[in-house]
Amino acid sequence: MAVFPAQTLARDSTGPLPRVALGVTVVLGVLLLQLTTELVAGRESARILARMTFMAAELPILMFALSAAFRRSIRQRMSAIHGLTVGIAIATAIGSLFGMLHGVAALHIAQLRLHFPNGVSIARSTLFGVLNAQLYFGVWALAFVYPFAVESTRVRALEAQQLRTQAEVARLRAHLEPHFLLNTLNAIAGLVTEEPREARRLLVCLGDLLRDAVQDTSDLQPLEDHIAWLHRYAEILEARHRGSLRFRWEVAPECARAMLPRLLLQPLVENAVKHGALRRADRAGEVVVRASTKSDGTLVCAIEDNGPGIVDSDVRKGAFGLQAVKRRLELEAPNASLRLESSGSGTRSIVEIGRGS
């Protein structure tokens, strides 16, 4: 008898086939099988009626007692051996009782013809009752415990996978956020001596970014909030690389409330700046942030730069951001994808998040 957590039992009892309905089905099924066996064997109607009466009285009591013991074993977190021992003891006690009653009836009411081929005996009848009860115990375990053991295993596997996913997302974010912070502080550091007023303004802007990152604990956020956060981040980068970098925003109004993982696009923007726009020889780097929706509701976000393109070695150098985005999409948005398009005229990172991700 497996031991399941109380919440799993609660889920089982509210499922499509509650325990009460299943218990009734098992009792009726066993009675029907026993009746069919007696009829096929050509037994007398009096004997069939008497046997059915005993079973109709014994089975509900046995099933109820075993189910109550099962719930108690869960609440008290019994071991599997302890729970099994309790079940066997209950079946033995109830089987002995009804076996003895069966023997007494066979001795005193001969017309019921409840005797065995080798004669009537209280001891023999009691033993028969115990063995029969153990058989019913096996039927109960098969019908009551096995389906829920399978379901509990499935639920536990899903919960374990969810915990692993949450842990990996937390790990990715734990790497990503300090990575972003370090790069941003480096950007501001270049202005401290040259333009202290501008550095102070950007530090305030960075404080706003960090406040939003700390206060928003949700894994998902609306696109409009995501873009507003990127606007402040872009302001810091534009100030740090004044004259060499500018941002352009093309965000369709209809996709403003679309949901996507927090900080998902920041590594792509950072890669577009570092490996694209700032590598132009004419210092006219540009990063375009686009967002739109397809006819089927899929959200499409594209980060495009006008740099010289990315060769394989550059992809490996900046792989952390791209791999982090790809893995987060796998974990948090299974219907999403990331692809990279690069040529001599620039690079485009495209994220597509399908409806229901």
Q: Are 305 and 276 in contact (CB under 8 A)?
A: yes
pLDDT band at 245 (very low <50, low <70, confident <90, very high): very high
Q: What is the mean pLDDT of residues 26-42?
A: 71
Q: What is the mean pLDDT of residues 185-202?
A: 78
What's the pTM? 0.52
Say if residue 349's pLDDT is above 90: yes
Higher pLDDT, 72 or 357: 72
User: Which pair of tokens denotes residue 174?
Assistant: 């734990």
Here the contacts of 164-170 (C-beta below 8 Å, separation 24 or greater) are 165/331, 165/332, 168/327, 168/331, 169/219, 169/328, 169/331, 169/332
| CA-to-CA separations, 272 to 91, 255, 263, 321, 322, in angstroms, rounded | 72, 22, 15, 11, 11
Higher pLDDT, 114 or 285: 285
Say if residue 17's pLDDT is above 60: no
State residue 7's pLDDT score.
39
pLDDT digits (tens, 9 = 90+) for 55-84: 778 888 888 888 888 888 878 888 878 888
- Go through the domains of the chain in sequence order and give each one's CATH number: 6-160 (no CATH), 190-353 (3.30.565.10)
